[in-house]
């Protein structure tokens, strides 16, 4: 489904399940809502899921800036328009986790419970890695592509990991007729505003609803020095560490991820 309000950018989302409280998933940089399809199916019938393509990703519209306050407002407007202001559970991973935190702080009436997956309300390390990936994608000569595999071949020299290339290439789409290939993600904007994407806005509000802060044991995006800021903004935070997981908790340890979600989102209010 896709919808918009007035002049707000269009948001594309897919729903999975038709019973239980609604859970809205927000993906990370380079991702799409469908990255959470496996988790959404596993939550049926206890919960119904909404898999959102964030602005500048997937089939959602592009914006003129990637500022978290701006993106959170776009998603909040879409939620209010689509579900009539009914509160939802909000789950965000990485960049999507920062969007989710900002949205919950700005619009607590729209969020029942919040799940933040392997990210903190702080400046994130790894900007150099993402700059490298964005540069590699920008270097692909789209005019030379006859098939998706050609793009994979072009990326082999700069991105060694086949899984990473496959994840990034989900953003490549072939046009109709002779229009060739194009990137769905707004690569120019993401590259230009990568510093803002790696940061976090200075906010002084609080979100006084239950929050699950999920960290990968092998990741460095959730560290002890991040905890004071997290608990200041989200005083009802519970921190859970998923053993053996890195940054991609939901894909590396899917059963543990789904189990933690189900327990937290279906438990009686504390």
DSSP-derived secondary structure letter, 26 = E
Catalytic pick among 27, 89, 247, 250: 247
d(CA 179, CA 195): 33
What does the DSSP 8-state code read for residue 60? Answer: S
Tell me the sheet residues that pair with 204: none
- Annotated catalytic, 247? yes
Catalytic residue selected from 188, 205, 208, 259: 188
Do the Cβ atoms of 125 and 220 come closer than 8 Å? yes
Tell me the helices (H) and strands (E) count for the chain, helix number first. Answer: 11, 10
2 a catalytic residue = no
| Active-site residue flag, 188 | yes
**Which runs of consecutive H residues, i.e. helices, occur in the chain?**
37-43, 68-83, 95-106, 127-138, 148-155, 162-168, 187-192, 194-198, 227-233, 249-252, 254-266
Assess contact for 13 and 40: CB atoms under 8 A. no
User: Of residues 49, 60, 94, 120, which has the active-site annotation?
Assistant: 94
Phi, psi of 69 (to 5 degrees): -65, -40
Give the residue numbers marked as catalytic.
94, 188, 247
């Amino acid at each position: 489904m896709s919808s918009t309000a007035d002049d707000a950018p269009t948001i594309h989302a897919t729903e999975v399940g038709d019973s239980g409280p609604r859970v809205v998933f927000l993906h990370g940089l380079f991702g799409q809502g469908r990255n959470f399809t496996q988790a959404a199916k596993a939550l049926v019938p206890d919960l119904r899921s909404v898999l959102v393509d964030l602005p500048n990703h997937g089939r959602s519209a592009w914006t003129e800036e990637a500022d978290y306050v701006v993106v959170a407002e776009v998603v909040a407007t879409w939620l209010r328009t689509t579900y009539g202001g009914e509160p939802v559970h909000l789950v965000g991973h990485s960049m999507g986790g920062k969007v989710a935190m900002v949205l919950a702080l700005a619009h607590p009436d729209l969020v029942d419970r919040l799940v933040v997956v392997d990210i903190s309300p702080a400046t994130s390390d790894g900007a150099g890695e993402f700059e490298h990936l964005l540069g590699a994608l920008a270097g692909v000569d789209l005019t030379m592509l006859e098939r998706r595999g050609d793009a994979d071949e072009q990326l082999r020299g700069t991105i060694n990991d086949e899984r990473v290339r496959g994840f990034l290439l989900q953003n490549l789409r072939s046009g109709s007729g002779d229009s060739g290939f194009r990137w769905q993600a707004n690569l120019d904007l993401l590259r230009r505003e990568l510093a803002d994407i790696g940061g976090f806005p200075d906010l002084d509000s609080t979100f006084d609803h239950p929050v699950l802060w999920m960290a990968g044991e092998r990741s460095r995006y959730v560290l002890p020095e991040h905890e004071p800021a997290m608990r200041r903004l989200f005083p009802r935070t519970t921190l859970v560490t998923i053993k053996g997981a890195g940054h991609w908790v939901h894909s590396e340890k899917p059963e543990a991820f789904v189990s933690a979600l189900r327990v937290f989102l279906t438990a009686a209010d504390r």
